[in-house]
């Protein structure tokens, strides 16, 4: 891929303030650099305390940055302030881990999806309703779901509504923070398929943050592995999965069912 990156992060350092007289804390993100090209999906993998969520929050401008730069489509993203920041943020859609926390229990699905559209200046009416039906359809939900409330949805359906809402303003970048961690395996497969479809149809760029390397390895073009604030691995998904450079990455990949190659070979369960 060539051209201007969708997102370019250079030497980003994020540090939380400790007490006034306390020694300077270790940075939560210690010099992260990466590019995200248009239409590309980058998976960011790390355990608790790895800095993956801090990095995401900085990109959403919810957290101040100590040093380094972030560019969105070639523009200095950290220089945008106030009203124009609110405007510019519409280019990013966000999906969080638990749809039942991110969807208001008081609103109907129609109201949830109308909110961002009306905030961006669309007036209520037939056009708005048609837009909502299209969004629901794109995310695999029938139009009659518009009258339901969050509690009348299953986990997978609710996450589809959250994705539809994130797509309402036609963002170029979708930021997904553990979007399948709260879902059953069967529902997780449906959501991963939906994201793959949306990526293909809309040419979306995605940042997919998770602690589960296997989930993100299925969908990401490139992977970034973080540990204790450092980027320990960055590269094409195939390369990292085939030949992880770090013991840590190898450990994440060696866990579980499909790593049990000796089973497939019919050698029986590992001696215990």
Partner 1 sequence: MPLLEIRGLSITIPTPKGDVRAVRAVDLSVERGEIHGVIGESGSGKTITGTAMLGLLPQGTKVEAERFHFDGEDLRQSADRLRGNRIGLISQDPAAALNPVLRIWRQMDDVLRLHRKAPRAERWAEAVALLASIGLNDPEKVLRSYPHELSGGMLQRVVIAQALATGADFLIADEPTTALDVAVAMQVLELLRQLVATRGLTVLLITHDMDVIAEVCDRVTVLYHGRSLENGPAEQVLQRPEHPYTRALLAALPDAAPRGERLATVEGLFIDPETGALLQGDQP
> Nearest to residue 57, comparing CAs of 11, 18, 16?
16
Residue placing its CB nearer to partner 1 in the complex, 132 or 215: 215
Question: Are the C-beta atoms of 6 and 172 separated by less than 8 Å?
Answer: yes
- In the bound state with partner 1, the residue whose beta carbon lies nearer, of 175 and 217, is 217
Distances (CA, A) of 118 to 109, 110, 222: 14, 12, 35
CB of 65 to partner 1, least distance (A): 26
Nearer to partner 1, 86 or 239 (CB): 239
What is the nearest approach in angstroms of partner 1 to the Cβ of residue 24?
Answer: 22
Min separation Cβ 228 and partner 1, Å? 12
In the complex, least distance from residue 96 CB atom to partner 1, rounded to whole angstroms: 18
Least CB distance to partner 1 at residue 263 (A) = 6
How many helices (H) does the chain have, and how many strands (E)?
11, 10
SS3 77: helix
Residues that bind partner 1 (CB under 8 A): 47-48, 155, 184-186, 188-190, 192-193, 196, 211-215, 217-219, 237-238, 248, 251-252, 255-260, 263-264, 268-269, 272
Q: In the complex with partner 1, which residue's Cβ is closer, 126 or 185?
A: 185
For the range 144-148, what are the long-range contacts, defined as Cβ-Cβ under 8 Å and sequence gap of 24 or more?
145/109, 146/108, 146/109, 146/110, 146/113, 147/108, 147/109, 147/110, 148/108, 148/109
Specify whether the CB–CB gap between 176 and 208 falls below 8 A.
yes
Smaller CB separation from partner 1, 57 or 214: 214
């Amino acid at each position: 891929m060539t051209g201007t990156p969708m997102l370019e992060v250079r030497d980003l350092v994020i540090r939380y303030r400790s007490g006034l007289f306390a020694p300077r804390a270790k940075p939560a993100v210690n010099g992260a650099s990466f590019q995200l090209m248009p239409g590309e999906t980058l998976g960011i993998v790390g355990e608790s305390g790895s800095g993956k969520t801090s990095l995401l929050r900085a990109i959403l401008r919810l957290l101040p940055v100590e040093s380094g730069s972030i560019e969105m489509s070639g523009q200095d993203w950290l220089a945008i302030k106030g009203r124009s920041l609110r405007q510019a943020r519409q280019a990013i859609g966000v999906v969080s881990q638990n749809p039942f926390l991110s969807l208001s229990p008081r609103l109907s699905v129609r109201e949830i999806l109308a909110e961002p559209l009306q905030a961006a200046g669309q007036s209520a009416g037939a056009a708005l309703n048609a837009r909502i039906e299209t969004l629901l359809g794109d995310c695999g939900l029938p139009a009659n779901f518009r009258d339901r409330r969050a509690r009348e949805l299953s986990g997978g359906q609710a996450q589809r509504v959250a994705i539809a809402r994130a797509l309402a303003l036609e963002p170029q970048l979708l930021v997904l923070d553990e979007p399948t961690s709260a879902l059953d395996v069967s529902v997780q497969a449906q959501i991963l398929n939906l994201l793959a479809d949306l990526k293909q149809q809309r040419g979306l760029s995605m940042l997919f943050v998770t602690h589960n390397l296997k989930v993100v390895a299925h969908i990401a073009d490139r992977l970034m592995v973080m540990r204790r604030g450092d980027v320990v691995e960055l590269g094409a998904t195939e390369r990292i999965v085939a030949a992880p450079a770090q013991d840590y990455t190898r450990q994440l990949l060696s866990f579980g069912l499909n790593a049990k190659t000796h089973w497939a070979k019919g050698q029986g369960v590992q001696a215990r």
